[in-house]
Amino acid sequence: MKKLALALMCLVSVAFFASCTTEGDPTIQVLNEEGYVQDGATVNVNTDVDFGFVMASSAETGKELASLIIKIDDNEPDTLTLTGTEYTYRGTLQYQFTKDEIVGESTITAIVTDAAGKTATASITLSINNPAQVLEATPIEWVKLGHTVQDLSAYGLQWKTTNYKEPFTHIFPAEGCMLFACAGYGDDFATIETDLDLANYFTNLTEMTLLPESINTTEYNKVDCNPANKDYNDLLITKDAQGNLHAILIEHANVTYTTATQITITGQAK
């Protein structure tokens, strides 16, 4: 499985196997308390994970503990200065994913060193799970009155504000964003129930070598004024500047004119 990039919320460690030591080496082992993860655990993204481990200097040498190094995968290690002959470390971590893969692995390594320069090492491998999140549909209403437009950047979109001779409204992907305007694909909106469904739908679109003519990646221009009130069944799949995916169902549009042409588009978004 592809390993995913992660963002750490704080200094992290997790449950550790005690490493093999020779005579005179310090020791390190898992903090075996309720609520603290153990080796081989599966943890969910965006969820606090409590961890801990304990260490002690060697009775043979009597040397105090000097330092503890925590290293998570390829991230820069963090070093703590220790004193005394025993130390218990506790902490909390969160794994955060912005990509659409589901499972990854993370290996955490801890090295404790005593005042004599002797060390003990332990590590753990966690399975990181990104469970599917149910997507709730929320109503949308997009309004363009002449050159005054509603900000659509949260969806990775922007209006074309100049006037057109054609009786259409034009919506484009914003800079650095992506759009798949799927005319007539509105029934698929109901099948996109989770973020995993949305990620798979987006991936399928991006992997198609030849898109149907009804799918436009440069603009959405199906809303027109012939007639002025019209129902639609179009699906927009977008990726915004932060990498978030959106599914948008265009259901209806009204085109009216007072001092300027007003276009009101309604539908749902996930």
pTM over 0.85: no
pLDDT at 164: 54
The ranges of the chain annotated as CATH 2.60.40.10 are 27-129
pLDDT category of residue 119 using cuts at 50, 70 and 90: very high
Q: Is the pLDDT of residue 35 over 60?
A: yes
pLDDT at 169 over 50: yes
What pLDDT score was predicted for residue 15? 38
Share of the chain above pLDDT 90, in %: 56
Q: Give the per-residue pLDDT at 201.
A: 97
Residue 83 has pLDDT above 60, yes or no: yes
User: At which residue do the structure tokens 């130390």 appear?
Assistant: 87
What are the tens digits of pLDDT across the range 195-210? Answer: 989 999 999 999 999 9
* Top-confidence residue, 228 or 118: 118
Question: Confidence band (pLDDT; 50, 70, 90) for 31?
Answer: confident
Q: pLDDT band for position 10 (50/70/90)?
A: very low
Residue pLDDT, tens place only, 203-230 = 999 999 999 999 999 999 998 877 889 9
Q: How confident is the model at residue 141 (pLDDT cuts 50, 70, 90)?
A: very high
> Peptide bond before 227: cis, by omega within 30 degrees of 0?
yes
> On the CB side of 23, how many CA atoms lie within 13 Å of its CA?
1
What DSSP string runs through the chain?
--------SS------PPPP--TT--EEEE---TTS--TT-EEETTS-EEEEEEEE--TTT-PPEEEEEEEETTSPPEEEE--SSEEEEEEEE-----SS--EEEEEEEEEEEETTS-EEEEEEEEEEE----BPPPEEEEEEEETTEE---GGGTEEE--S--SSSB--EEEPTT-EEEEETT-GGGGGG--BHHHHHHHHHHHHH-SS--TTEESS-B---BSSSSEEEEEEEEEEE-TTS-EEEEEEEEEEEEESSSEEEEEEEEE-
27-129: which CATH number, 2.60.40.420, 3.40.50.1000, 3.30.750.210, 2.60.40.10?
Answer: 2.60.40.10
Task: Write down the residue that tokens 């390993």 correspond to.
Answer: 3
Residue 9 has pLDDT above 60, yes or no: no
Residue 12 above 90 pLDDT? Answer: no
φ, ψ of residue 79 in degrees (nearest 5): -115, 130
> What whole-number distance in Å separates Cα of residue 225 and Cα of residue 90?
64
Max mean pLDDT among 39-48, 159-168, 181-190 falls in 181-190
| Amino acid (one-letter) located at 249 | L
pLDDT digits (tens, 9 = 90+) for 84-99: 999 999 888 888 765 4
The pLDDT of residue 116: 94
